[in-house]
Amino acid sequence: MINKNSYNLLFVSLLGLVLILGSCKETETTAPDSTVNVWDTVTNFQGIVNPSNSGTLTFKMNYAYKGAALELGSKYYTNAAADTFTIKELRHYLSNIILHKPNGDQVNLKNYNLLDASIAGSQTFTIQNVPAGNYTGISFLLAVDSFANHNGLQEGALDPSWGMFWTWSTGYIFYRINGATTKGKNYSFDLGGDGNQPSINLDLKMYKVKSNKATFNMLMEVNEMFQSPENYSFEVDGYTIHSETEPSAKKFAKNMADMVSINTITP
């Protein structure tokens, strides 16, 4: 027979168990949600933040001469050396876009794109699966890197059928511009060679854009290739360049380092 004291003892034991379980429940901690992407929560930053590894970056190039939209064909332009000329063709590579992080790390997007100032569809391109992160600088080549420049038959923008290729030994034409002058002479500049690769470096710290699909609206100021740090004169430096060894090609390569800027970055 169970007496009253036994009931009391059982009640006290059960009450103690409930208190212990309740105490354990209160001290439980919730494990952090591993699905939360730290870049989605960033609010205090400079440059651009791409929150997703499946994000995209779109680049759109616009062309100008002394601030006015470039007109191919019959419009005459004047450079710092007082040469007056038309621009009939302008084609160039834009490759190896590198995103720079605040700690100095770099992400090379390993792109090769061929842009043509006469073909609107070629002036915009999108790169997929950009790694998530915060980027405060961007750089790229108006050229083809040394490895790809001598790597034999290639595809896509590097297909020799585009007409931007010399030979297996000398590689690609990085930048082509040609037209006519008021002196009755045509000019034709095909720039290439491993030592003549214009490198563009742009600071992004003045921007504050967080997006999985940011668009860079860029401007190429063609006048800059003829000046700063050195003026290029058709009469002095020549009307044609079709070899990487021509000294005048190096003058262009130096001048072109500041010919591209960013107008806006839109989310």
**pLDDT over threshold 80, residue 34:** no
| pTM, two decimal places | 0.86
Compute the half-sphere exposure of residue 190: CA atoms within 13 Å on the CB side of its CA. Answer: 11
**pLDDT over threshold 60, residue 27:** no
Strands (DSSP E) contained in the chain are: 47-50, 55-65, 68-69, 77-78, 84-85, 89-100, 106-108, 112-116, 124-130, 133-135, 137-141, 173-180, 186-192, 199-203, 208-210, 213-221, 240-241, 260-266
pLDDT at 150: 87
pLDDT at 37: 87
Q: Residue 4: which pLDDT band, with cuts at 50, 70 and 90?
A: very low
- Helix (DSSP H) and strand (DSSP E) numbers for the chain: 4, 18
Rounded to an integer, the average pLDDT of 88-95 is 98
pLDDT at 162: 95
Rounded to an integer, the average pLDDT of 219-229 is 98
- Alpha helices (H) in 31-161, listed in sequence order: 146-149
Q: Residue 256: which pLDDT band, with cuts at 50, 70 and 90?
A: very high
**pLDDT over threshold 90, residue 30:** no
For residue 113 the two structure tokens come to 């794109």
Q: How far apart are CA 208 and CA 28, in angstroms?
A: 39
Tens of pLDDT, residues 149-188: 988 768 999 999 999 999 877 899 999 999 999 999 999 9
The CA angle 228-188-185, to the nearest 5 degrees, is 100
pLDDT at 32: 54
For residue 175 the two structure tokens come to 């930048």
Question: Which among 174, 193, 223 is positioned nearest to 70, based on CA atoms?
Answer: 223
